[in-house]
Amino acid sequence: MKALVKKKEKDGSVFYLIQWSSITKADKYDIVRKIPSIPGIYELYYMDEKKKLNLFFFSRAYYGGLRNHIRKTTDAELETDLKRREILQKYDCYYRYSETASFADMSDILYFFSKTYFPDRDFEHSGRYLDIFVNEVSDDKIVTI
């Protein structure tokens, strides 16, 4: 399954289908070799002591592409946010991504995720739709919503 975002519009609403890549343990050399340098969205997880994956960050990668953004945000030496740096230093980091070239679609999806997972984060949607719906598909059978 190709990691990409699909959408359907109906009556002022949008329905996004996110097909995620496989969850992969972050390794800076593998990231540079395997991740495409194209726009998309991505999520970062850490594995705790109980071997549970915990979502701790999601974002879009527009300028610079997925490769550059994931490489930077999974490396404790490059991370500037102190909370995320602590997590990266303490735990193994995992990521997954999905390709989409539309900045407006990324904004809608991240708005949906922010309201679902991190209500204190302030993402703006594109303003194009009355309602935003998201469905996720993953070969790893990990669905976060």
Q: Residue 60 pLDDT more than 60?
A: yes
Check: CB of residue 74 under 8 Å from CB of residue 31: yes
Q: Residue 145 pLDDT more than 60?
A: no
Bridge partners, 96 (sequence order) = 43
Query: Which DSSP category does 21 fall into?
Result: P
Confidence class of residue 142 from pLDDT cuts 50, 70 and 90?
Answer: low
**Where is 68: in which H helix or E strand?**
helix 65-73
Identity of the amino acid at 107: S
Which domains are seen in the chain, by residue range? 5-137 (3.40.1440)
Neighbours of 47 (CB within 10 A): 15
Q: Where are the beta strands (DSSP E) in 62-122?
A: 92-99
pLDDT tens for each residue of 105-134: 999 999 999 998 888 877 899 999 999 999
